[in-house]
Amino acid sequence: MRQKMTIIFMLLLFTASLVTGCFGGSGEANRNEVTKEGEAQSALASNDEQAVVSASGFKEAPMLAELVKTGTLKPVEERLPNKEDIMVEPVFEQIGKFGGEWNFPWNGPDDKWAIGMPTEEAMFRFNQEGSAVEPNVAKGYDVNEDATEYTIYLRKGMKWSDGMPFTADDVVFYWEHMLIPETFGKALYDCYYSVDPVSGEKARADVAKVDDYTVKVTFKHSNVMFLERLAIDNKWFFAPAHYYKTILAEFVGEEQALEKAKEYGFEDLNNFGVWTGYYYWLYPQRPTLRPWVAKNDMNSDRFIMERNPYYFKTDGEGNQLPYLDRIVLTKMQDKSHKLLETLAGKVEITTFDFTDFTVLKENEKKGGYRVIPWTTPSWSSTGVQLNQTTEDPKLRELFQDIRFREALSVAVDRKEISEIITNGLGEPSQAAVPAGLPNQQAGWAQQWTEYDTNRAAQLLDEIGLKWDAAKKFRTFADGSSLTLTIYQEDTTDNEKFIELIRKYYESIGLKTDVKIVDQGSYFDLKYANKIPVSVKSVNVVNVAFRPDELVPLRVITPWFGHYGLHTSSQGKEGVKPEGDIASILEYWDKVKASKTKDEVQQWTDEIIKLHQKNQWVIGYTGPTPVLIVAKNNLKNVPTLVSSDEFRGIGHAHPAQFFLE
């Protein structure tokens, strides 16, 4: 017990300090100042011994220097952007050295985001404090006084991974030939619309080339959150025009495009467009700006990503990043396989949820790694979402009844869930905005949290749910059978939690079924509106930054189902939002129409208050950290916040990781 309380105390201290540093504090104490010129430490000496210095003073990896020597590759100074436009990436601890591999466990192509997020290069990214965005692929920007014109400056001399120039033409091409015509299966992102504050009219932005390295985005109305939303909605606001002109039907004709699709393994242009346009980092043929690029077939047992010789960043001493030569992704279909490989010290860095905390800590010394807890902005560590648009009309009516959601909340003993599932580290709690984040509401975490089966039974009686002949399970009012079907991805470790809530639900007469599906099938079922109940939580830093899980703008979160499709299809498909759901969309339009950050805060608070009132997402225990497990010889790994907005491990800028 003393050991558990010590762990809890340490994590509480850790979380409190991190929230202060990442959400409102200066955060600068967490940044190592050795990145400043002249302050690099002893690692520089070892770096000089193995780095190859060019005539211009830039240093590059030996594997690239060999290619330069043979004439296969241009000198490093010709591969980097113009000297004044090179991005200098701050290192967390010290200047690194070149070489080595990042062994990366994954589940194959369906696990695309696991490697997509760590290798991502966005036009604008969130700073490591999580408080604002900063230029990344872009060199900088200007915005006019009323936030209707954004001028984005690109890096002169920057190149794609195949050596072709990256210019404003690649931004405009992406806008005109991929975003607007939806060639990769996605409706135009919400960030590109502004809203009239009076009429509520939405207007699409205009994107135009100013010169080879300047793009202007013009809105009809103010859009004060454009850059933050761009950093989430459409991080890669660009695409290699020279590549897509060889595969898109618009340029090569449908017949030739279909031939190309078959070369890639597709029988139709739709899927071809989605995978090569949206999950492009998996294809060796597709040029990229990322630090590592695909080198072989993603379906291989070992999928290899190798350093990009044209990567646009260096460290503070002129070493072209990344430090690591390659990422080796080994297919591990069994979740236990990943854990065993990590315990054996065969994985450089990866993530786990808190269910594996004990075994990981017990094997730290033996495995030669360290466990680094990253806090999260999650509303809960355990909970359920009821699809408010589920296909079955009787289930839909039931799920939309607030009394039913309250019954599912009070029917569960949160203390038992806390002890069994989170080892006591996830406090008994309702799903709510965590302390320290924008829009937190006082008292919300305690809403409907008292374990009270009598109250649950009373609510189910009021709704009109009857008992079957055996007095074992409830039925609908008309006597027809009632079953709650929970869908779970096979990549998650929720079996024990689901069995516990099944026990609680069935104890109040609600028959509960569980279906485990692979990640790809889960994704397809979600988009088809065929998941009635899920065990997802909400993980949002700020609704103004990322409304997707809280505002039904597109199909993404199970609780609002096809309300999101109705919005993204502009009313052509899906389920029309009504009541408080419709109010959320109205408030979001007011967020979009806001002229100041204060107005943004006002209307996002109103959105969150509706979530508190309705509790569409039910939580049973408070958030627990994400565990970053890193080998002891892997350096420059900071302690940060883990969230989708910040791109998980990608928030640590893996191009500056190195092996000592």
Both 220 and 344 in a single domain? no
The domain of 306 spans 31-119+290-376+625-660
AA identity, residue 570 = Q
CB 209 within 8 A of CB 111: no
Both 147 and 208 in a single domain? yes
- What's residue 129's pLDDT? 86
What tokens were used for 161?
């991974």
| Residue 491: band (very low, low, confident or very high) from pLDDT cuts 50, 70, 90 | low
Per DSSP (E only), the strands in 76-177 are: 87-88, 101-106, 124-126, 133-135, 140-143, 149-153
CB 490 within 8 A of CB 453: no
| Residue 254: band (very low, low, confident or very high) from pLDDT cuts 50, 70, 90 | very high
Answer whether residue 303 is part of any domain: yes
| The last residue of a domain, from among 212, 243, 274 | 243
- Average pLDDT of every residue of the chain: 90
**In this structure, what CATH number is given to the domain that contains residue 519?**
3.10.105.10
Both 483 and 604 in a single domain? yes
Percent helix, strand and coil across the chain, each to the nearest 5:
35, 20, 45
Both 426 and 439 in a single domain? yes
Answer whether residue 282 is part of any domain: no
Both 207 and 61 in a single domain? no
What is the Cα–Cα distance from 595 to 468, expressed in whole angstroms?
A: 57
CB 621 within 8 A of CB 427: yes
What is the Cα–Cα distance from 396 to 500, expressed in whole angstroms?
A: 24
Both 19 and 37 in a single domain? no
- What's residue 213's pLDDT? 98
- What's residue 412's pLDDT? 98
pLDDT tens digits, 138-196: 999 999 999 999 999 999 999 999 999 999 999 999 999 999 999 998 889 999 999 99
What tokens were used for 466?
């009857």
Of 650, 381, 434, 383, nearest to 540 by C-alpha is: 434
57 backbone φψ class: left, alpha, beta (φ>0; ψ -120 to 50): left
Per DSSP (E only), the strands in 186-301 are: 193-195, 202-204, 206-211, 214-218, 292-294
Long-range contacts of the stretch 132-138 (C-beta < 8 A, 24+): 132/228, 133/227, 133/228, 133/230, 133/231, 136/87, 137/236, 137/238, 137/289, 137/312
Higher pLDDT, 295 or 28: 295
Answer whether residue 257 is part of any domain: no
Answer whether residue 513 is part of any domain: yes
- For helices 254-263 and 269-277, what crossing angle results, to 10°? 60
What tokens were used for 346?
């065969």
- What's residue 478's pLDDT? 96
CB 15 within 8 A of CB 625: yes
Higher pLDDT, 388 or 25: 388
Both 442 and 532 in a single domain? yes
Answer whether residue 81 is part of any domain: yes
CB 474 within 8 A of CB 466: yes
Place of tokens 């648009």: 389
Per DSSP (E only), the strands in 127-256 are: 133-135, 140-143, 149-153, 193-195, 202-204, 206-211, 214-218
What is the Cα–Cα distance from 617 to 537, expressed in whole angstroms?
A: 7
Of 427, 428, 355, nearest to 12 by C-alpha is: 427
- What's residue 54's pLDDT? 66
What is the Cα–Cα distance from 237 to 137, expressed in whole angstroms?
A: 9
pLDDT tens digits, 399-410: 999 999 999 999
211 backbone φψ class: left, alpha, beta (φ>0; ψ -120 to 50): beta
Both 115 and 133 in a single domain? no
What is the Cα–Cα distance from 498 to 1, expressed in whole angstroms?
A: 26
CB 245 within 8 A of CB 253: no
Question: Mean pLDDT, to the nearest integer, of 551-579?
Answer: 94
Which residues lie across from 305 on neighbouring strands?
294, 327
- What's residue 32's pLDDT? 31
Both 372 and 347 in a single domain? yes
Of 434, 322, 375, nearest to 648 by C-alpha is: 375
Q: What is the DSSP string of 450-498?
A: S--HHHHHHHHHHHT-EE-TTSSSEE-TTS-B-EEEEEEETTS--HHHH
The answer to whether residue 11 scores a pLDDT higher than 80 is no
**In this structure, what CATH number is given to the domain that contains residue 95?**
3.40.190.10
Chain centre distance of CA 227: 17
pLDDT tens digits, 522-542: 889 999 999 999 998 999 999
**DSSP conformation class of 418:** H
Answer whether residue 160 is part of any domain: yes
pTM for the full predicted model: 0.81
Of 166, 171, 170, nearest to 217 by C-alpha is: 171
What tokens were used for 8?
């809890």
Answer whether residue 261 is part of any domain: no
| The last residue of a domain, from among 208, 243, 278 | 243
**DSSP conformation class of 305:** E
The answer to whether residue 197 scores a pLDDT higher than 70 is yes
**In this structure, what CATH number is given to the domain that contains residue 230?**
3.90.76.10
Percent of the chain surpassing pLDDT 90: 79
For residues 98, 121, 557 and 223, what is the CA-based torsion angle, rounded to 10 degrees? 150
Of 122, 119, 125, nearest to 106 by C-alpha is: 119
- What's residue 355's pLDDT? 82
Question: H or E element: which one contains 306?
Answer: strand 302-307
Q: What is the sign, positive or negative, of the torsion defined by CA atoms of 174, 180, 185, 186?
A: positive
Task: Report how many domains make up the chain.
Answer: 4
What is the Cα–Cα distance from 137 to 162, expressed in whole angstroms?
A: 17
Cβ neighbors of 643 (< 8 A, separation 6 or more) are 130, 376, 377, 539, 540, 541, 651
Answer whether residue 544 is part of any domain: yes
Both 509 and 559 in a single domain? yes
pLDDT tens digits, 503-524: 999 999 999 999 999 888 988 9
* 1-10, 70-79, 204-213, 623-632, range with the lowest pLDDT: 1-10
Both 61 and 161 in a single domain? no
Coil/strand/helix, residue 531: coil
Both 207 and 183 in a single domain? yes
The Cβ-side half-sphere exposure at 291, using a 13 Å CA radius, reads: 28
